[in-house]
């Protein structure tokens, strides 16, 4: 894409300037759309304690800011868990035959998140029992996220279509039924998978800036021409 724009600039003397600007803008808008929505959070603490569960309990997350909560985090004596709301799900594994909860599955950066769940995992939609991140009791702590900073694969519904995303969770407070949400990301193309930790590429923003530059140039030349 950048090479094509460069060729247009080099041969600008052979083309009307408004054509150059129009082509650059079309190329940019056609292929430079930022597909991944990313948000990082400044993590407040209370005397060093994690924010989710202590003191915010429950904690509702509207991942796409459409006014509808997609996930609820709850913290208590039984553990720290995430509860998908209508149309949402989290990647999880079975916790045991006598336990109604599941264990939320921690992912390393770069793991694929799509409709195909990893081996031995599944998309859990249970908003009643939820998926445990960590559960600290007298006998110790259980939960696959216990002591970890990792990614959680999620899916949610936006305008009746499924989107895939990730939550970067800090559950490194071993012995505490709480944690922090560090960042999130999701793919704005319905049904398209995403990799854990993926953020908008810098080249995408560069193309958008180049397109905007040529658009302004075209407007100025048109007004003075």
In sequence order, what are the residues at sequence separation of 6 or more whose Cβ sits closer than 8 angstroms to the Cβ of residue 29? 211
pTM for the complete prediction?
0.74
Among candidates 86, 77, 59, which has minimal Cα distance to 167? 59
Specify the DSSP element, H or E, that contains 162.
Answer: strand 161-171
pLDDT tens digit at each of 225 positions of the chain: 444 444 434 444 444 554 444 444 444 444 445 599 999 887 655 545 455 554 467 888 999 999 999 999 998 888 899 999 999 999 999 987 667 799 999 999 999 999 999 999 999 999 999 999 999 877 688 999 999 999 999 999 999 999 999 999 999 888 888 888 889 999 999 999 999 999 997 755 555 565 555 555 545 555 565
| Beta strand ranges found along 54-158 (DSSP E) | 59-61, 71-76, 79-84, 89-94, 102-104, 106-107, 112-113, 122-124, 131-137, 140-142, 148-158
| Residue ranges covered by each domain of the chain | 2-34+201-224, 37-195
């Amino acid at each position: 894409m950048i090479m094509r724009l460069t060729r247009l600039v080099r041969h600008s003397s052979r083309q009307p300037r408004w054509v150059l600007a129009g082509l650059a803008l079309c190329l940019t808008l056609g292929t430079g759309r930022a597909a991944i929505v990313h948000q990082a959070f400044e993590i407040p603490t209370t005397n060093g304690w994690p924010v989710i569960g202590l003191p915010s309990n429950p904690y509702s997350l509207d991942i796409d800011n459409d006014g509808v909560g997609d996930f609820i985090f709850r913290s208590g004596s039984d553990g720290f868990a995430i509860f998908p709301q209508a149309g949402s799900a989290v990647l999880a594994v079975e916790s045991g035959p006598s336990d109604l909860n599941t264990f939320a599955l921690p992912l390393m950066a770069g793991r694929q998140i799509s409709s195909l769940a990893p081996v031995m995992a599944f998309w859990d939609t249970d908003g009643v029992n939820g998926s445990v991140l960590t559960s600290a009791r007298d006998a110790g702590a259980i939960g696959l996220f216990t002591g970890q900073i990792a990614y959680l694969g999620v899916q949610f519904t936006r305008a009746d279509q499924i989107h895939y995303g990730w939550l970067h969770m800090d559950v490194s407070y071993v012995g505490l039924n709480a944690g922090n949400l560090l960042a999130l990301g999701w793919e704005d193309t319905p049904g398209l998978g995403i990799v854990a930790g993926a953020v908008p590429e810098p080249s995408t923003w560069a193309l958008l800036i180049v397109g905007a530059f040529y658009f302004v140039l075209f407007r100025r030349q048109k007004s003075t021409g």
